[in-house]
Amino acid sequence: MSPAPGTRKRKTPTGTDAARAEHRRELLRAMLRIRRFEERCVELYSAAKIRGFVHLYIGEEAVAVGVNEALTADDAVVATYREHGHALARGIPAEAVMAEMYGKTTGCSGGRGGSMHLFDASRRFYGGNAIVAGGLPLAAGLALADRMRRQPRVTCCFFGDGAYAEGEFHETANLAALWKLPLLFVCENNLYAMGTAIERHEAQTDLALRSASYGMAAWAVDGMDVEAVERAARRAAESIRGGGGPHFLEMRTYRFRAHSMYDPDRYRDKDEIERWKARDPVTRLLDRTREDGELSERKLAGIERRITEEIDAAVEAAEQAPEEPVENLLRNVTSGFVEAM
């Protein structure tokens, strides 16, 4: 397996055909890996191997993958409860994510978090927040620390259109713009706050327009086009690193699946879902690479095979991993008094 994205400095595409082809294959691989991982989650959920609330990212992969291209290992990421994609794109091993879904000690949160609370301090991945908009103030604090220490790092916070109605978004946007924090707001506007369509929960549905009123750069992006996402995220991240203050990206995207595994999805027209599926970010990139002769069927099969092997291994490892003994129940409630001033 090649090094996971987010754990190394990424090469900027040089513009040469070969470099572009390689980069596109990498984007495709990263998106496919998230999709296949989640498709396996559906099977495992149905088999009662994983429990709890499981919110799938299928359809939105271009956002996590494209934005991650603009981030380095020094940057920080704050995500929501629909964060398998963000976690995998950030470089948390599939094995650690899968073990977390199983509630095993080898999970990336030691089995204490599950699907909605993936964490990896070593990769500066700060959740996994299952209170809508709850991660936003925390992201402002991570960015504040960088600003106070004059570190040219970016904190990227993912959240949905539902979070836009919460005061915490508006408090954080005000604070970030007021203090010129190096914060990248990535709003995944998938048009539904759980089951409520955006026109039923927002007075003004142009979220980039509203965000610009805080005095920060804000623009809307085709969230179904990974290359467009990457371009926008790079532009925003470079500006933030250069002292440009917070930026807001409204990613116009769509989830192909229901809100969660429990959701019967009665609130959306089948036609609407089919229209968006026609813009599937994986298929779109696949079509482009094929048109430009950048991906042979043999290479694609190879990519798929390696992903399958990786996920098989992750599932096998999660199956075999030990349960945490009940004696450890009260661990990690407090750290204990360990540091002296």
Partner 1 sequence: MATGQPDERKTTYREAMREALREALRADERVFLMGEDVGRYGGCFGVSLGLLEEFGPERIRDTPLSESAFVGAGIGAALSGLRPIVEIMTVNFSLLALDQILNNAATLLHMSGGQLPVPLVIRMTTGAGRQLAAQHSHSLEGWYAHIPGIRVLAPATIEDARSMLAPALADPDPVLIFEHGSLYNAAGELAPLTAPVDLDHAATRRQGTDISLITYGGSLPKALAAADELAADGISAEVLDLRTLRPLDGEAIAASVARTHRAVVVDEAWRTGSLAAEISARIAEESLYELDAPVERVCSAEVPIPYARLLEQAALPQTADIVTAAHRAVD
Which one of the spans 12-20, 117-125, 237-245, 310-318 is the region binding partner 1 (CB under 8 A)? 117-125
For residue 253, give the nearest of 163, 167, 185, 190 by alpha carbon.
190
Nearer to partner 1, 66 or 135 (CB): 135
315: Cβ–Cβ under 8 A, 6 or more apart, which residues? 40, 44, 98
Q: Rounded CA gap, 131 and 327, in Å?
A: 29
Instruction: Specify whether the CB–CB gap between 249 and 186 falls below 8 A.
Output: yes
Nearer to partner 1, 262 or 337 (CB): 337
Q: Rounded CA gap, 67 and 63, in Å?
A: 6
Strand partners, 79: 128
- The reply on whether position 340 binds partner 1 by CB under 8 A is yes
Nearer to partner 1, 18 or 333 (CB): 333
> Least distance from C-beta 282 to partner 1, angstroms?
31
- The reply on whether position 92 binds partner 1 by CB under 8 A is no
- The reply on whether position 336 binds partner 1 by CB under 8 A is yes
Strand partners, 76: 155
- 54, 77, 108, 317: which one contacts partner 1 (CB under 8 A)? 108
Q: Give the relative orientation of helices 297-320 and 17-46 as an angle to the nearest 10 degrees.
A: 40
Nearer to partner 1, 220 or 321 (CB): 321
- 13, 22, 51, 171: which one contacts partner 1 (CB under 8 A)? 171
- The reply on whether position 83 binds partner 1 by CB under 8 A is no
- The reply on whether position 175 binds partner 1 by CB under 8 A is yes
- The reply on whether position 172 binds partner 1 by CB under 8 A is yes
The CA-based angle 123-125-130, given to 5 degrees, is: 160
- The reply on whether position 326 binds partner 1 by CB under 8 A is no
> Least distance from C-beta 122 to partner 1, angstroms?
8
Residue 109, Cβ neighbours under 10 Å: how many? 20
Which one of the spans 228-236, 267-275, 314-322, 330-338 is the region binding partner 1 (CB under 8 A)? 330-338
- The reply on whether position 341 binds partner 1 by CB under 8 A is yes
Site string for partner 1, 120-159 (x = CB under 8 A): xx----xxxx-x--x-xxxxxxxxxxx-x------x----
For residue 59, give the nearest of 302, 278, 291 by alpha carbon.
278
Nearer to partner 1, 59 or 93 (CB): 93
Instruction: Specify whether the CB–CB gap between 68 and 5 falls below 8 A.
Output: yes
Q: Rounded CA gap, 44 and 37, in Å?
A: 10
175: Cβ–Cβ under 8 A, 6 or more apart, which residues? 137, 140, 181
- 81, 119, 164, 254: which one contacts partner 1 (CB under 8 A)? 119
Q: Rounded CA gap, 222 and 231, in Å?
A: 11
Q: Where are the alpha helices (DSSP H) in the chain?
A: 17-46, 61-68, 84-90, 94-102, 135-148, 167-178, 198-201, 207-212, 226-241, 270-277, 281-291, 297-320
Which one of the spans 21-29, 55-63, 112-120, 300-308 is the region binding partner 1 (CB under 8 A)? 112-120
Nearer to partner 1, 155 or 260 (CB): 155
Nearer to partner 1, 6 or 111 (CB): 111
Name the residues that contact partner 1, by CB under 8 A. Answer: 76, 107-113, 117, 119-121, 126-129, 131, 134, 136-146, 148, 155, 167-168, 171-172, 174-175, 178, 331-341
